[in-house]
Structures are given as structure tokens and as C-alpha cells.
Amino acid sequence: MEPVEPGKSLLAPSGRDSWHELSRFTPARIAMGRAGGSQRTASRLDFRMAHARARDAVSREFHPADVEHELRRAGEETVRIGTGATDRKEYLLRPDLGRSLSPDSREALREMRQRSVKRDLAVIVSDGLSALAAERHAVPTLGYLLPLLRAMGWTVYPVFVASYARVKLQDEVGALLGARHSLMLIGERPGLGAPDSLGAYFTFMPDLDRTDADRNCVSNIRPEGLSPRGAAIKLAGLLSDSARLSISGTGLKDSSPAPTFGLPAPTRDV
């Protein structure tokens, strides 16, 4: 190893990386540069802000009445249901309570089944781990999805709106109603770049014995990820395939073309 000249540092000059222009193509934290051997102040502050937004998203209270209002404006009926969790703190500390209905809601769904004809799809909207995601993106997604499904002949129950729910709640809701499919739109665990990401999970013939392997997921629904319209189109295709094949979960594959993101078709070397 060559000796270092007096006064010359082994470190590259501080500042942004020379390739930082590529960061405009992705929200990922790339080309952040450095200040000596440490993070740049701007990078550190940006990280702390993203972390604070993620924490706020997890602890933020859900406003189900606002979601119901928007759904009714879109022409959808709604029904409020509850889970075993009674507040946000209990929900976060006891995940199991969000996987089952409250006694009153369970009885209400039993009565609904007795007085109404079975339908194909039960939809549940919940805050999950990001109330922001549910409030921002659930209604636009359903605004595109439900007309597509009805045009294909699907019948749909009123949209159920639940606070403090986990994904598995859809199994109990669907089983009590006798629905062929259940679909849950729920706020996903926030990431450092996405505090408002919505997930959509569906199950064919929902039942309490169903596991995560029996359901399919379309995730990262938000304008910066998979748009509500794009998610609705993908979900409509997957649900149609699920009904046709009588299956969901690991046995159901997405048959839609992979996105090209505007890239040219690959060429083959001869």
C-alpha cells in the first residue's frame, strides 16, 4: 500500500455522490453521499422525517364515518362492524383481537345471512396499520373495481367498514355470510418511503380454517406505487380467474402481462 501524503485523507471528498441524478427515478435512498465518514445532515433529517411519518401512520386513529360517507357518495351501501379490539393501543398490542368480530357484529352478520340472499363477494375496509392508506385509497380502488365486477355478473354485499381489523377477519365475515369470495382492503405496515400503502387480500370460499396460503394479495396501492385504477384492473382479473378455477392462494397465479415500465422489448443475441 502506498503511503498517504501528509494532510491527505483516505476518504473521498464529502458531498452528494456523482450519480445522484439517478435518484429521481426511484424513491429508494440511493446516492445519498456522505460527510466524511458519516451521513450528510440532509440525508439524516430526511430519514428521521420518514421514520416519524411511519410512526404517525401506525398510531393515527381511523375515521370510519368519513370512509362510509365517501362510499355512499359513490353509490355503495355500507355496514359498520367491530372487532375484539376496543382501541388503537389494544389493537397494536393484541393482534389476535383484530382477527375476530365483536359479539354484536357476529350476531348482526348471522341475521343478515338469514334475511338476505347469498352474494358472491363480501368487501371489508379497515385501517390495519395505516389508517391514512384506508382513508385515501380504499374508496377510489373500489370505485373502479366494483363496477368491473358487477359488469361481469358479480353480486356484492354492502361494503363493511371495520376499525382495528387484521387480514384474517375476512375469513369470519365471509364464512358467516356464506359469500363465495371475501376481499379486504387494509392499510399496510408503513415503510420509510410509503406511510399510506394499501393492501388488498382476497380468499375463495372464506372459512375460519383458511390461512395466508389460501389468499392472494395485491399490495402497494397508492398513486406512487400501483394506482387504484391499476389495482382494480389487476384484482378484477385475479378474482375472475379465482371464480373460474375455484381456487385462491398459492395455487392461483397472476396471468396478466408483466409491466414493462416503458422499456423496450429485450433483444436476443444471435
pTM of the model: 0.82
Residue 31 · residue 20 · CB < 8 Å: yes
Taking the domains of the chain in order of start, what are their residue ranges? 59-251
Residue 69 C-alpha cell reads as 360517507
- Please give the pLDDT value at position 260: 44
27 pLDDT band, cuts 50/70/90, is: confident
Percent of the chain with pLDDT over 70: 89
Residue 132 C-alpha cell reads as 391514512
Find the range with the poorest average confidence among 2-16, 200-214, 218-232: 2-16
Q: Greater confidence, 215 or 22?
A: 215
Q: State how far the Cα of 65 lies from the Cα of 68, in Å rounded to an integer.
A: 5
H runs (alpha helix) in the chain? 41-59, 64-73, 88-93, 103-115, 131-151, 169-177, 228-245
Residues linked to residue 79 through DSSP beta bridges, in sequence order: 160
- What is the architecture, at CATH level 2, of domain 59-251? 3-Layer(aba) Sandwich (3.40)
Percent of the chain with pLDDT over 90: 66
Q: Greater confidence, 10 or 258?
A: 258
Find the range with the poorest average confidence among 22-31, 127-136, 159-168, 187-196: 22-31
- Mean pLDDT value across residues 42-68: 83
Find the range with the poorest average confidence among 37-46, 72-81, 118-127, 219-228: 37-46
- Please give the pLDDT value at position 18: 79
116 pLDDT band, cuts 50/70/90, is: confident
Strand boundaries in 58-197, DSSP class E = 78-81, 121-126, 159-162, 181-187
